[in-house]
Chains A and B, each alone.
Chain A
């Protein structure tokens, strides 16, 4: 019953919103919104994705934001996919329920292109305390259009290689500081079968544009491939792309975790923290779980290296960021909230009250200078910073693209295409198809998108 009911209700809600939207004041006259009532307080509706860092902010806001500014904050927390849909509806239908919403790097780009979000550049520059120059270039890159920021990062991540230093030492192996994918394969071959209960690698195989395609997308960049060339020609069967896909399928089926086609980020995180994999290429945000003795049996035994490369690095940039939909009437209050939530002081508050490993990191260079944070993240913060600094969403891989984005491509149809391609590749690693068959099917899917975009 659930899903049908949900689908119907959602549809009904869409209808209702659409009707409400027609009657609502949709003009831009309220830009700059003078609803600011100073310390006497206004009210903000904030919609956030339900990640741990967001839950921390919910518990800190009353004490550290509302008391100071008098602005009451009503939080709505939703899982990632529902959040995407909810914000898309709210913004597309001009319903204007929310003053601040969290957007991922992908939505940030797509929605900015649709002109749904306020340009926050001036506000950020005027606010000297906020120190916009402190934001990492990769984060600015992924959230800007024509050099102007349309969303402010709350935390950011890139990707790097994590490996079991103890296993490597035991077998007399060395992980290069900047490994190639060929290095990873040959190291995997040397680990295979040597340590009981440990598979050489763990790589995501669960279908989804935000699951296996994050890893494969990054590998496509590294092998010199691309989803589409600059003229929107589908390139799934081009040399670089197919090479990357074949390499991935081969690596996972030969050396990967058991049940790879249903393993996503969470499953690999489990595998790795339980000591069942030797090498894992994934998000830098995994590191603070790996180094937490409460959640990991391998804390202190893990080494970190750069993201593997071939023709280019397989880096990626992802962030959850604050954006202000153009439908809000509270731009000034919204900015106050964003400046607090993404400010330097907030990080220190989290460190002192919740713990230094919980700091929403990866967005400011000053974070890496805080002594307590440095100590808490000593094992990985240097490599994390290096990975973030080397990733540029405008300049991924070696081929020119029609739109920006590393690992994903910032156009609306990508989520759907990425999910379907992800399904094809999961079939390939489950042994239902050969890599060549999967590549041919992916090319057909990409050509359909190509026809619409040209």
Chain B
């Protein structure tokens, strides 16, 4: 019981306080002008064009980011689930991106890979051009495709996470069932479609839900690569909240936006969960129910 009380205090009080703050007009630079303001902050937040842009960007980043990471992660997990020489090394290498701090990873992508003057991609293009005697294009990756640039880093970071969960799922699969299927004459695709995929379902659901929650909160990548720009192309909700609180000093409005994000994450994770479950229900699991 004391543990439960502790848990409630630690996890819920900050949120309640945030809700409280969101009802106040509180700009820290005007200390003598703090007053209860009802839902004015929420109205202001929803009418703010920057915040609306941030919501759209967040949805795009989360949906494309999670789906891409999930597909690539599952694919890699399937490959890693076979035995081959050097599997341990390959697995470690594939997990590495997830272990690098997001801020460090973002700076690495920004400077070492994307930078149009001294980055890896344009450097390779230039080298190819010099070697084969053509004039290589030197695109500006981040300003040309800012959203894609941020999403790529997100996918790079989160694919190993998806891969790990899926791999754990694959390894928990009972090999005897597969053997039985093989004896029954099921080919590799049928085995995957009717056994492995069905078995993986809960693992994929878990990765999706966790992925959505994490990517909704992606901040380091936006902050360090683009600062939300150019324009509002990469401003997502966490970054917009950061700007509201740290540049605008508007704690009330920042808190209101924060509360909306929490509501938003709950809705999206539920939606994601339902979507995956329903997809799976469509697949007739060999006509039988467990």
Q: Using a CB–CB distance below 8 Å, which chain A residues touch chain B?
A: 1-4, 7-12, 14-15, 81, 84-85, 88-89, 92, 110, 114, 199, 206-209, 211, 257-262, 264, 267, 270-271, 274, 276, 412-413, 415-416, 418-420, 422-424, 426-427, 429-433
Q: Which of B164-172, B175-183, B228-236 contacts A (4 or more CB under 8 A)?
A: B228-236
Minimal beta-carbon separation of B251 from chain A (angstroms): 6
| Contact between chains at B230 and A427 (CB < 8 Å) | yes
Q: In the complex, which residues of chain B have a beta carbon less than 8 angstroms from the beta carbon of A3?
A: 217, 219, 238, 241-242
Minimal beta-carbon separation of B65 from chain A (angstroms): 15
B129 on the interface (CB 8 Å rule)? Answer: no
If over half of B's interface residues share one DSSP class (helix, strand or loop), that class is named, otherwise mixed; here it is: helix
| Contact between chains at A260 and B231 (CB < 8 Å) | no
Contact of A4 among B20, B118, B235, B261 (CB under 8 A): B261
Q: In the complex, which residues of chain A have a beta carbon less than 8 angstroms from the beta carbon of B232?
A: 423, 427
Q: In the complex, which residues of chain B have a beta carbon less than 8 angstroms from the beta carbon of A211?
A: 227
Instruction: Give Cα distance in the complex from A208 to B222, angstroms.
Output: 13
| Contact between chains at B116 and A419 (CB < 8 Å) | no
The 8 lowest CB-CB distance pairs between A and B, nearest first, are: A427-B231, A412-B29, A258-B116, A430-B230, A12-B14, A416-B248, A3-B219, A3-B238
Interface size class of B (residues with CB under 8 A): 35 or more
| Contact between chains at A416 and B14 (CB < 8 Å) | no
15 other A-B residue contacts (CB within 8 Å) besides A258-B140, A413-B29, A427-B232: A1-B213, A7-B254, A11-B18, A12-B13, A12-B18, A15-B20, A81-B246, A199-B117, A259-B117, A259-B142, A260-B143, A261-B142, A271-B117, A416-B249, A431-B143
A426-B242 in contact given A2-B219, A12-B14, A276-B117 (Cβ < 8 Å): no
B192 on the interface (CB 8 Å rule)? Answer: no
Q: Using a CB–CB distance below 8 Å, which chain B residues touch chain A?
A: 13-15, 17-18, 20-21, 27-31, 50, 102, 110-111, 114-118, 138, 140-144, 146, 213-214, 216-217, 219-220, 225-233, 235, 238, 241-251, 254-255, 258, 261-262, 265
| Contact between chains at B21 and A15 (CB < 8 Å) | yes
Q: In the complex, which residues of chain B have a beta carbon less than 8 angstroms from the beta carbon of A206?
A: 227, 229
Instruction: Give Cα distance in the complex from A257 to B140, angstroms.
Output: 10
Instruction: Give Cα distance in the complex from A4 to B30, angstroms.
Output: 25
| Contact between chains at A88 and B29 (CB < 8 Å) | yes
| Contact between chains at A420 and B50 (CB < 8 Å) | yes
Q: In the complex, which residues of chain A have a beta carbon less than 8 angstroms from the beta carbon of B50?
A: 420
| Contact between chains at A92 and B14 (CB < 8 Å) | no
Q: In the complex, which residues of chain A have a beta carbon less than 8 angstroms from the beta carbon of B226?
A: 261-262
Minimal beta-carbon separation of A416 from chain B (angstroms): 4
| Contact between chains at B230 and A429 (CB < 8 Å) | yes
Minimal beta-carbon separation of A208 from chain B (angstroms): 6
Instruction: Give Cα distance in the complex from A89 to B13, angstroms.
Output: 20
Closest to A107 in B: B29
Minimal beta-carbon separation of A275 from chain B (angstroms): 11
Contact of A430 among B31, B116, B231 (CB under 8 A): B231
| Contact between chains at A262 and B117 (CB < 8 Å) | no
